[in-house]
């Protein structure tokens, strides 16, 4: 078979075809639109919260407990922080270990089952998980509304994100690193700990951050499992309800008193700050761990 090429023009002079110019402009425009679709709502939300929270802001909300739209938000803040820290330990631990298992050890059906299960889990609406948590933990196990019930529910919800990001990050570790470690006589565990996990850390941290951001901003499952209280969190894992910020946002906003609405916006502002801090901490960890990375 003969292949014929169209002849190239004799001269280098000439304008790019109109079609290419249009396509170029369209792609650029689409990029800007996409950027705007991310940036505008973000700025809108932050500005809206600031605008409503700041004028009536009082530092007292940080140091006073309260309920039903009066007093402060100390109980909610501490409750959310405890829940977030607990998720970090529980979902972070389980998720990272499961991710390591999937990336390094799982071969055949076991891995496929775990992967499939986690995808299904990630797809279950959080309110359904909350209700299941309510039936299983609060009622069947007699934990009542409690820190443990809330934590376990949040952890179940967020483990898939941590697991997936850990697995993906570990799979992206260049095989040259592993081979180098192996050839140097590292044990498999040493290679994993000193080379693979270190290299994968940015990806793992990002996954944990997403999990934490979800858990700190989640309302539905906690309504079913954590309950609410005007008291600060205690050491009790079960039988004692625990407050959280999104409850305040959700409930106080619908109350008639002006102070309750103000508290609701204060809670939203504090939540934004917490999420922002999480992101900053994550960025710092990522950039520290990447200072010797190949792709920088």
Partner 1 sequence: MRRTALEPDPSDLATSRGHESSYPVLEASSLRLQFGSTTVLSDLTVAIPRGQITALIGPTGSGKSTLLRTLNRMNDRVKGFSHDGDVLLEGESIFGRNVNLMLLRRRIGMLFQRPNPFPMSIGDNVVAGVRAHRIAPRKQHRAIVEARLKEVGLWDSVSGRLADSPFRLSGGQQQLLCLARALAVGPDMLLLDEPTSSLDPGSVETVEALLRKLVPALTLVVVTHNLAQARRIAEQTMFLFGGRLVEFGPTAQLFESPNEPETMRYVTGRIG
The interface region with partner 1, picked from 112-120, 148-156, 276-284, 286-294 by CB under 8 A, is 286-294
Distance between CA 135 and CA 222 in Å, rounded? 13
Distance between CA 296 and CA 280 in Å, rounded? 19
The interface region with partner 1, picked from 82-90, 177-185, 223-231, 278-286 by CB under 8 A, is 177-185
Per CB under 8 A, does 185 bind partner 1? yes
CB neighbours of residue 259 within 10 Å: 14
Per CB under 8 A, does 108 bind partner 1? no
Distance between CA 209 and CA 278 in Å, rounded? 7
Of 103 and 268, nearer to partner 1 (C-beta) is 103
End-to-end CA distance of the chain: 48
Q: Which of 4, 176, 235, 256 binds partner 1 (CB under 8 A)?
A: 176
All residues at 6 or more sequence positions from 183 whose CB lies less than 8 Å from its CB, including other chains: none
Q: Min. distance of Cβ 95 from partner 1 in angstroms?
A: 23
Per CB under 8 A, does 183 bind partner 1? yes
Maximal C-alpha separation, the chain: 85
Q: Min. distance of Cβ 168 from partner 1 in angstroms?
A: 17
Distance between CA 295 and CA 267 in Å, rounded? 40
Per CB under 8 A, does 83 bind partner 1? no
> Which residues, listed in sequence order, are joined to residue 66 by a DSSP beta bridge?
71
Q: Min. distance of Cβ 184 from partner 1 in angstroms?
A: 4
Instruction: Please list every residue from 193 through 252 that binds partner 1, using CB under 8 A.
Output: 194-195, 198-199
Interface positions with partner 1 (CB under 8 A): 174, 176-177, 179-187, 190, 194-195, 198-199, 291-294, 296
């Amino acid at each position: 078979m003969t292949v014929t090429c169209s002849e190239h023009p004799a001269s280098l002079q000439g304008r790019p075809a109109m079609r290419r110019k249009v396509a170029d402009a369209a792609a650029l425009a689409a990029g800007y639109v996409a950027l705007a679709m991310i940036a505008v709502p973000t700025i809108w939300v932050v500005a809206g919260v600031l605008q409503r929270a700041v004028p009536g802001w009082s530092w007292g909300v940080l140091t006073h407990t309260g309920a039903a739209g009066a007093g402060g938000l100390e109980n909610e803040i501490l409750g959310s922080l405890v829940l977030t820290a607990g998720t970090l330990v529980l979902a972070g631990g389980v998720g990272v270990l499961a991710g390591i298992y999937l990336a390094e050890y799982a071969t055949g059906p076991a891995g496929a089952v775990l992967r499939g299960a986690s995808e299904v889990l990630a797809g279950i609406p959080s309110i359904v998980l909350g209700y299941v948590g309510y039936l299983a933990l609060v009622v069947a196990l007699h934990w009542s509304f409690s820190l443990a019930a809330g934590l376990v529910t949040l952890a179940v919800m967020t483990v898939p994100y941590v697991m997936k990001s850990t697995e993906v990050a570990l799979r992206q570790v260049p095989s040259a690193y592993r081979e180098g470690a192996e050839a140097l006589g590292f044990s498999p565990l040493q290679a994993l700990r000193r080379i693979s996990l270190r290299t994968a850390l940015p990806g793992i941290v990002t996954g944990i951050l997403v999990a934490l951001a979800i858990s700190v901003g989640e309302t539905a499952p906690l309504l079913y499992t954590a309950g609410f209280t005007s008291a600060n969190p205690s050491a009790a894992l079960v039988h004692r309800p625990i407050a959280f910020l999104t409850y305040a946002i959700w409930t106080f906003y619908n109350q008639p008193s002006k102070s309750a609405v103000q508290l609701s916006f204060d809670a939203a502002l504090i939540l934004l700050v917490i999420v922002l801090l999480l992101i900053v901490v994550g960025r710092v960890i990522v950039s520290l761990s990447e200072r010797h990375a190949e792709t920088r």
